[in-house]
Structure 1
Amino acid sequence: MAAFTNVYGENTEEKTTLPLQKEKSWAQPYPLYLFQDFWCPGIHIDAVQRFQQHFQSKESDVIVASFPKSGTIWMKALAFAISNHQRFSSLEGHPLLTSNPHELVPFMEFTFGPDDIQDHILRLANMAEPRIFGTHTPFPSLPKSIKDSNIKVIYICRDPFDNFVSAWAYFNKIKPVSFPPVSKEEAFEMYCNGVVDYGPWWSHMLGYWNESVAKPNKVMFMKYEDLKEDTSFHVKRIAEFLGVPFTEEEESSGMIENIIKLCSFEKMKDLEVNKSGVIGRGSIEKKNFFRKGDNGDWVNHFSPPMTEKLSKIVDEKLSGSGLSFKKHS
């Protein structure tokens, strides 16, 4: 057993069994380790372990789960606005106008620091309900207190073609400037092999997909493309799933449309709170979370051989699951 040194050079209290299988990460220079059957960023392993060991769920909790760069920040904003639509019935002074969605819906993996765990447990226990958290952790690696409870989990995924382009662009933005960009060709091979943060992407999707099929009242599985196509319909679905449906009066007053506008890519990208400043343990610039938000941008980046290769992988990995995406050619 050996202590794991995190990005800050700290020897954390948690112990990680090493060596683990190790691969290069898009987010250089920090490598990925094959941890609990998924590729976990080395700087996150201790945080994931603390989260697994100490997180205690409440029945009113809401979890926004996603594979990285699949519409996470949009779904976090929608989940927060929908869950609190009675509390913040007026958009004036709404927290989303002055706080980044990642601040309002923190990642569960980082709710426990390496210092006094009891302090973190007490702070979480005293949070206002409903507590809303985000996670990139695959379903099998979630804490037992989440998997065995009836709390609501909303999972958002994205077409692998657009997910690849979004992730490649994002990780090249946040990497240290002293490291060269990861070429599209190299990144694509890694993506096809599933060697990306919290990958393989297919097993990540299938873990939540299978649970949504088995327990539809617990896990809502949503595609970014469907949400984009008919946002109003899915906002109402989310509200019903979370047990806070909109009343006829609220619908007629335009509350759904107001929430959609408040959480829209264009609105969030234009807010000053999302234009400047940094967030998270990696001090990521907030503006890097907002790129295009479009469907179909992959056509500007894929060659015919790339399209053919990824199409075959999607078909092979998702075969027989009932989960599918639009065919590409």
Structure 2
Amino acid sequence: MASFSFPKDIQSSLPLPAAKLPDGTNMFQWKGIMLSPQLLQAAITADKHFSARSTDIFVASYPKCGTTWLKSLIFSIINQHSLNQEKESPNPLLSTSPHDLIHNLELEVYSMDPIPDITGIPSPRLFSTHHSYGSLPESLKHCGCQIVYITRNPRDSIVSFWHFTKKFSYHGLEYLSFEETFERFCEGALPFGPFFEHVLQYLKASKEMPEKVMFLTYEEMIADTKGVVKRVTAFLGRPVEEEVEKIVEMCSFEKLSNLEVNKSEENTSKRRYPNNVFFRKGAVGDWMNHFTPEMIERLDHITQQKLQGSGFEFRFD
């Protein structure tokens, strides 16, 4: 990874390196977020060339905050005709990873590939992103498309991210101890960090443009999945009152995690990691098995400082 070189047309747009990953790869701060070279190249390319439509729908999140679950829900809501699990019309979620049904703009669509032709994708096009609101492609922010954002309490986010990086090779992050991952999270020196600024930007956008940006938390989805699904369908203008039960059941952690496609160690798309890395516990409160009292005190102090005046609080149970 450290030997990566940017194409000539990208080099003039490069910021100065801001940090290093464990394998020596430079991390760059771009529009307020931290990106590896490959992700920076994809971000710059998407910023220049992605042409958003008003009918596009985006799933937005900081990594490991409920992305997989929200993707499956959004896909099911938009593709109600595919809910029938009969042989003649099987639900694609039964045989396809949610990440292969809604592709990530920077990790897949624009990462390390020539500029893709995505103009032929019928509307509504479904994409996902880990970018902060401020670092989204300009056309996306101004086209009037809809964004559903999900966040998660920072304690569980750190734990989930650390376990995720233990399962595959990604820029040397698998060599980080939990303590080192915690430090980098607090410093905002993980890919797509800093976390709290990420959350606050989407929270602000959801208050200013409630018809365009919806703000959700993983914890409220756990507590009231049916209620959240109904809210999302109303936000997207896709009422599915009679299908809510089917959607909730099909997209449950128990259902998705036990499907063969999601237990597979194979990589079924352009992603660099296998399908099974996306499912571990799907629970709230696993941080209690990893955090020391000192870690809780430090992160709580940072959380209170960052969220002061926002009117938003995380739930930790």
Same fold (TM over 0.5): yes
**Shift in Å, 1:77:** 0.6
CA distance in 2, matches of 1:197, 1:115: 20
Does residue 265 in structure 1 map to residue 253 in structure 2?
yes
1:192-212 alpha-carbon deviations (Å, 9 max, x no partner) = 111111000001111111000
Alignment partner for residue 316 of structure 1, among 305, 310, 313? 305
Moved more, 175-184 or 156-165: 175-184
Residue identity in the other structure for 1:44: L
**Shift in Å, 1:91:** 3.0
Residues 34-45 of structure 1 aligned to structure 2 (within 5 Å) = 34-45=29-40
Does residue 220 in structure 1 map to residue 214 in structure 2?
yes
**Shift in Å, 1:257:** 1.4
* Aligned counterpart, 1:233: 227
Superposition RMSD in Å: 2.3
Residue identity in the other structure for 1:322: G
Alignment partner for residue 57 of structure 1, among 52, 55, 58? 52
3-state SS of paired residue (2:103)? coil
State the TM-score, normalized to the length of structure 2. Answer: 0.91
CA distance in 2, matches of 1:177, 1:288: 16
The 1:213–1:179 alpha-carbon spacing in structure 2 relative to 1, beyond 3 Å, is: closer
1:70-120 alpha-carbon deviations (Å, 9 max, x no partner) = 0101101100001111x2241331111111111100011232366653xx2
Moved more, 228-237 or 177-186: 177-186
Alignment partner for residue 194 of structure 2, among 182, 200, 222? 200
Residue identity in the other structure for 1:111: V
* Aligned counterpart, 2:41: 46
CA distance in 1, matches of 2:140, 2:15: 29
CA distance in 2, matches of 1:154, 1:293: 19
Does residue 25 in structure 1 map to residue 21 in structure 2?
yes
**Shift in Å, 1:30:** 4.2
1:28-59 alpha-carbon deviations (Å, 9 max, x no partner) = 56442212221112221111111111111112
* Aligned counterpart, 2:294: 305
Does residue 129 in structure 1 map to residue 117 in structure 2?
no
**Shift in Å, 1:12:** 3.2
CA distance in 2, matches of 1:125, 1:179: 35
CA distance in 1, matches of 2:171, 2:17: 26
3-state SS of paired residue (1:57)? coil
Conservation of the 8 A alpha-carbon contact between 1:14 and 1:50: no
Residues 1-329 of structure 1 aligned to structure 2 (within 5 Å) = 11-12=6-7, 14-16=9-11, 17-18=13-14, 20-25=16-21, 28=23, 30-85=25-80, 87-92=81-86, 93-109=90-106, 110-112=108-110, 117=115, 120-121=116-117, 124-175=118-169, 181-247=175-241, 251=242, 255-276=243-264, 277-279=266-268, 281=270, 283-326=272-315
3-state SS of paired residue (1:174)? coil
Residue identity in the other structure for 1:158: R
Conservation of the 8 A alpha-carbon contact between 2:188 and 2:194: yes
* Aligned counterpart, 1:3: none
CA distance in 2, matches of 1:89, 1:273: 17
3-state SS of paired residue (2:301)? helix
3-state SS of paired residue (1:76)? helix
The 1:279–1:40 alpha-carbon spacing in structure 2 relative to 1, beyond 3 Å, is: farther
State the TM-score, normalized to the length of structure 1. Answer: 0.88
The 1:327–1:227 alpha-carbon spacing in structure 2 relative to 1, beyond 3 Å, is: closer
CA distance in 2, matches of 1:327, 1:176: 28
Residue identity in the other structure for 1:155: Y
